Amino acid sequence: MATILVVDDEPDVLESVQFVLRQHHHHVLSADNGERALELACSWLPDVIVTDKDMPRMDGITLCKELNRYPASAQIPVIMTSGRAWPRALPALWTMYFRKPVDPAVLEAAIQSLVTRRYSRDPGRGSLPNWPASRWAPAHTKDRI
């Protein structure tokens, strides 16, 4: 059972994605904006984040930038969703991108793949050089991503 954070400002989308993920026995956290999602991500360190790109208060792109500031949250794979076409400018900020509406079976397969990949990594290999003394020490101190 993986912990998945679902972020979307549309209540119907949020509820339907939560329903599908709970049917696959995932622990689901939810937020209706990026600010709340950032709080939950930093508190829970979910296995995967599924976020909408366009939201009020903090959009999905800004959420990804903020997550990447800290080593612990930067390791969380992010699935970005949007009703718009692929944003070519910033593809390195998230792991996967799906155009809405996302087929539930495709979403579940993507999540399963990311969770499996995340836990099958060699624990002896550090993915970040010079790991900070605190897991919440900023990864980038000069400027924000």
User: For 56-75, what is each residue's pLDDT tens digit?
Assistant: 889 999 999 999 999 999 99
The answer to whether residue 22 is domain-embedded is yes
* pLDDT for res 129: 42
Give pLDDT, residue 43: 93
Q: What percent of the chain stands above pLDDT 90?
A: 66
Tell me whether residue 85 is in a domain: yes
- Contact 100/10 with Cβ under 8 angstroms? no
The string of pLDDT tens digits covering residues 79-110 is 999 987 766 665 678 899 999 999 999 999 99
What pLDDT, on the 0 to 100 scale, is given for residue 121?
67
pLDDT-derived band at 119, boundaries 50, 70, 90? confident
CATH number (domain holding residue 20): 3.40.50.2300
What is the pTM (predicted TM-score) of this model? 0.80
As a whole number, mean pLDDT of residues 8-31 equals 95
Of 80, 93, 94, which Cα lies nearest the Cα of 50?
Answer: 80
Q: Is residue 132 part of a domain?
A: no
The HSE-up count of residue 108 (CA atoms within 13 Å, CB side) is 15
Write the CA distances from 45 to 3, 4, 73, 77, 125, integer angstroms: 8, 9, 6, 11, 20
How many domains, in total, are found in the chain? 1
- Is residue 144 domain-resident? no
Range of the domain at 49: 3-119
Whether 128 is in a domain gets the answer no
Is residue 133 included in any domain, yes or no?
no
Residue 130: pLDDT over 90: no
The pLDDT, as a whole number, for residue 118 is: 78
Task: Using alpha carbons, select from 74, 90, 70 the residue that is nearest to residue 82.
Answer: 90
Residue with the bigger pLDDT between 119 and 99: it is 99
